[in-house]
Chains A and B, each alone.
Chain A
Amino acid sequence: MTTLKMCISAVGLAIAMSIACVASAHSFPESETPSAGQKVATTPSEVTINFDAPIEKLFAKLEVAGADGKNEAAGAPQISDDGRHLSVKVASLKPGDYTVKWAVVGIDTHHTEGSYTFSISSGGS
């Protein structure tokens, strides 16, 4: 009976303290704008990546490279107050394929990095 009470109390304590949802660890993109693989008709004014966990501004990198490899980002990457949205302004992009490369350090101090592509159709402006 004592053991049962002990287990029930421990379970109750833990459940009471746990209100978070299941999520993967470290900071990884949840969504992007433009999204990975998307073909857009109009030139985006900025590229944004939404992360599933906060990231550190000090180590955030975000590049938007065209087919020639040139970084088209206009200025340094910006991070929202909650640390989950990384964005960078881009110059007027010509039609073509673009590779977005990102590298961040989560507030848990661990690195994550990746890349994806999007393209602007020839009707873009």
Chain B
Amino acid sequence: MIETPLILAWPLITAQLLIFGTAAFALVAGFSEIPVRDGAPDSLVTFWRGLALVILIISPLRFLSVAAGMADSTLREVLPFVPQIIRETFAGRVWAWRLGVAAMLAIAAWIPSRRILPALMCTISTMLLLAQSLTSHAVDKGASAIAIHFVHQVAAGLWLGALACLLIGATYGGASAEWLGWATGRVSKIAGWSVAVLVVTGAIRAWYAIGLHFELLLYSLYGRTLLWKLATAGAVILIGGYNRYRLVPALGEASARATLIRNVTAECLLLGAVLGWSALLTNTPPPH
């Protein structure tokens, strides 16, 4: 059997969450309205366009990979059966819809209006997150599991997006104490809520996967991957806590601002690694 390559799943999941999270932050926090140098909002638009292109290019490849996995064949062998898979399977129908949404996202990213762009990016990427949930392990368990998976993704996207916006703003919009003070307050609030939701929905998802058989955390590939994901996410939370309680009160000092930006970069990279574990989990059968 051909497993769906991680090399396609990881960038797709990451791009979807980043575009959703940054657009949501821009929408809710009014990123384009803040009094910083003009570079930040434009950088965000360029960022969205890049992510939209990544999603547009990778989505069909990922679908082909999934279809090949279902048909237990190679990418080339499955090509003639793609229309049948789209017509006759649930995943095929969701993917057909998902590919259309990916195209819509790429078109919308080039709309010149800065006012409606965050709302458009947020809305369309939300549809992609829903499609992701509908093609996950959660679909086996019905509507409630899909809803939990979706909420988990939304929380992860908000967390990652808020940190990415902070990083983009600090890099392209100037890392003044005033701006960082404004941004870190919002990012901290979003991150706190997101982590709380992620802990709860993550626990429920783990319960769906392994029930109360905690030994499976150690004695199954799925369980061990989940533990690595938790450990990496735990490291991000520790860094976030240090930022919030040690660095933010000292933002008046240039060294604290520099350390904060460096730590936020590390958080973003570690969250990328968390998404790598998540992508691996999507391709790993939960223990039975």
Interface residues of A (CB under 8 A from B): 3, 6-7, 9-11, 13-14, 17-20, 22-28, 53-54, 56-59, 105-112
Please pick, from B135, B192, B197, B288, the residue contacting A109 in the complex, using a CB distance under 8 A: B135
Bitwise interface map of B from 269 to 287 toward A, beta carbon under 8 Å scored 1, else 0? 0000000000000000111
Question: If the complex has contacts A26-B140, A108-B139, are A56 and B90 also in contact, measured as CB distance less than 8 A?
Answer: yes
Taking a contact as CB atoms under 8 Å apart, the answer to whether A18 and B286 are in contact is no
* Distance to closest chain A CB from B77 (angstroms): 14
Taking a contact as CB atoms under 8 Å apart, the answer to whether B69 and A53 are in contact is no
B255 at the interface (CB under 8 A from A): no
Bitwise interface map of B from 108 to 147 toward A, beta carbon under 8 Å scored 1, else 0? 0000000000000000000000000001111111101101
Question: If the complex has contacts A11-B200, A111-B1, are A18 and B144 also in contact, measured as CB distance less than 8 A?
Answer: yes
Please pick, from A9, A14, A112, the residue contacting B151 in the complex, using a CB distance under 8 A: A14
Measured between beta carbons, the chain A residues less than 8 angstroms from B145 are 20
Interface residues of B (CB under 8 A from A): 1, 66, 69-72, 84-85, 88-91, 135-142, 144-145, 147-148, 151, 192-193, 196-197, 199-201, 204, 207-209, 211-212, 285-288
- Docked Cα-Cα span, A56 to B67, in Å, equals 12
Chain B residue nearest in CB terms to A6: B196
- Docked Cα-Cα span, A26 to B197, in Å, equals 25
For the A-B complex with A13-B200, A57-B88, A59-B70 known, give 20 more contacts whose Cβ atoms are closer than 8 Å. Answer: A3-B192, A10-B199, A10-B200, A17-B144, A18-B144, A20-B144, A23-B141, A24-B288, A25-B141, A26-B286, A28-B288, A56-B70, A58-B88, A107-B89, A107-B90, A107-B139, A108-B140, A109-B70, A111-B69, A111-B72
- Docked Cα-Cα span, A7 to B137, in Å, equals 26
Taking a contact as CB atoms under 8 Å apart, the answer to whether A14 and B148 are in contact is yes
| 9 A–B contacts from the bound complex (CB under 8 Å) | A3-B192, A6-B196, A9-B196, A14-B151, A17-B148, A20-B141, A23-B141, A25-B209, A25-B288
